[in-house]
Amino acid sequence: MSVRVVARIRPLLKLELDKDTIVEAATAGSETIGSPTIVRIPNPKNEAEAFSFQFNSVYDQKATQQQIFDNEVAPTVKHLFNGFDVTLFAYGVTGTGKTHTMRGGKTLAERGVIPRLLSAIYRRSRKTEKDMSGETQVEVTMSYYEIYNDRVYDLFESPEKRTPAGLPIRDNGGKTVVVGLTERPCTTLKEFEQLYDQANVNRSTSATKLNAHSSRSHAILCVKVVQSTGDQTRISTASAIDLAGSEDNRRTDNGKERLVESASINKSLFVLAQCVEAISRKQARIPYRESKMTRILSLGQNNGITIMVLNLAPVRSYHLDTLSSLNFANRTKKIEVNEVENEPFFRTASKTMASSATIASGLTLERQPLRP
Ligand code: ADP
Ligand code: MG
């Protein structure tokens, strides 16, 4: 069981081009070469100071969809075909690029990790079948659902046909299953994309009905890979989850409905953080049963691989929400204290004021020279 937590800072949007960038990717310690593993952000209470958070990897504004896929997701496909489950999460405030990272845009270059993953799965399926000279058959099926207010809704069902109470979940030999969830075979990438697009229309239809409901539900795509050789079958699942926005809804709206929503979002994100942390610390007990989402995903039950992408916006209007995202993921990341070097006092003339102090494992507080 392993987990990687990576941060991705999105570029400025057209309307933000005149705004300050306050969130930056940096390399650890005093290194200026190598790939960034640090996210640096000013302390909102004292902008002369910056907080640094360390992750397995950090992608800056220039990172492409291809790079994210090649570095983070492509290496997991091999494990999937070896029978391990792969789970990808996009976590972050609404507007930070979760859907862009997962689903992406229409052009080839803009495609997100989901269509790229499916493409890699089909490629490997063909190769496996060829290498085994037809002895092994690979079948791919998908299900796609959302969890809203702790209820499960099938995204293959149009919103009008849904039962408001959602689909029941049940224990089935130690595994939690959603009863009545549609599972669609999809044999080609084209077929997958048709089904996926159609289901996403159902998601956005309910979004218009329920006022940006999509930012307050978790969308969970499960792709099952079944490899059969004679009477033996090997089943593994790749799950990709576009999580509900992590913003504190209570700050903007005190309506009762919103409070119910934010309570269930907070609970499931909190349990998710605890599960990811327990996995990264290789703890025996993973509290996955404590929320519906982690329970259905059996998070941490198998020898799976989990990757969490923390999506961040670089601009000041997200400052406090970005910090709370970073704090959330900081608890969940693998803590490698030694990789964060404290900068010595008065290191160079130009950094006369530079100093840093470790205030939590992996988290350093730096004093930057005051700007004139
Ligand atoms: P979220 O799903 O977290 O609410 P979106 O994925 O919808 O956020 O992204 C918000 C906006 O930012 C969209 O217009 C999206 O196209 C744009 N965007 C996000 N990430 C990137 C990126 N890496 N490159 C270009 N545009 C991006
Ligand atoms: Mg989104």
Out of 110-119, 130-139, 256-265, 316-325, which region has the weakest mean confidence (pLDDT)?
Answer: 256-265
Beta carbon of 212 within 6 Å of any ligand 1 atom: no
Report whether pLDDT(358) > 80. Answer: no
Annotated binding site for ATP: 92-99
Beta carbon of 246 within 6 Å of any ligand 1 atom: no
Report whether pLDDT(338) > 70. Answer: no
ipTM for this model = 0.99
Query: In terms of pTM, does the model score above 0.90?
Result: no
What's the Cα-to-Cα distance from 79 to each of 1, 301, 305, 343, rounded to whole Å?
A: 11, 16, 8, 39
Nearest Cα residue to atom 17 of ligand 1:
97
Give mean pLDDT, residues 301-320.
92
Which residues lie below 8 Å from residue 282, measured CB to CB, with a gap of 6+?
A: 1
Ligand 1 centre distance from Cα of residue 16 (Å): 13
Give mean pLDDT, residues 311-323.
95
- The predicted structure's pLDDT at residue 336: 33
Beta carbon of 29 within 6 Å of any ligand 1 atom: no
- The predicted structure's pLDDT at residue 45: 87
Higher-scoring residue by pLDDT: 8, 368: 8
Ligand 2 centre distance from Cα of residue 97 (Å): 7
Ligand 2 centre distance from Cα of residue 142 (Å): 20
Q: How confident is the model at residue 100 (pLDDT cuts 50, 70, 90)?
A: very high
Q: How confident is the model at residue 32 (pLDDT cuts 50, 70, 90)?
A: low
277-306 confidence digits (pLDDT tens): 899 888 989 999 999 999 999 887 777 899
Convert the chain into a string of H (helix), E (strand) and C (coil).
CEEEEEEEECCCCHHHCCCCECCEEECCCCCCCCCCCEEEEEECCEEEEEEEEECCEEECCCCCHHHHHHHHHHHHHHHHHCCCCEEEEEECCCCCCHHHHHCECCCCCCECHHHHHHHHHHHHHHHHHHHCCCCEEEEEEEEEEEEECCEEEECCCCHHHCCCCCECEEEECCEEEECCCCCEECCCHHHHHHHHHHHHHHHHHHHHHCCCHHHHCEEEEEEEEEEEECCEEEEEEEEEEECCCCCCHHHCCCCHHHHHHHHHHHHHHHHHHHHHHHHHCCCCCCCHHHCHHHHHCCCCCCCCEEEEEEEECCEHHHHHHHHHHHHHHHHHCCCCHHHCCCCCCCCCHHHCCCEEEEEECCEEEEECCCCC
Report whether pLDDT(212) > 70. Answer: no
Give mean pLDDT, residues 219-231.
96
Report whether pLDDT(368) > 50. Answer: no
Beta carbon of 287 within 6 Å of any ligand 1 atom: no
- The predicted structure's pLDDT at residue 354: 32
- The predicted structure's pLDDT at residue 333: 36
Give mean pLDDT, residues 184-191.
97
| Residue from 14, 68, 100, 216 whose mutation best tests the ligand 1 pocket (most atoms within 8 A of CB) | 100
Nearest Cα residue to atom 10 of ligand 1:
95
Nearest Cα residue to atom 16 of ligand 1:
100
| R_g of the chain, CA atoms, integer Å | 21
| Residue from 10, 60, 96 whose mutation best tests the ligand 1 pocket (most atoms within 8 A of CB) | 10
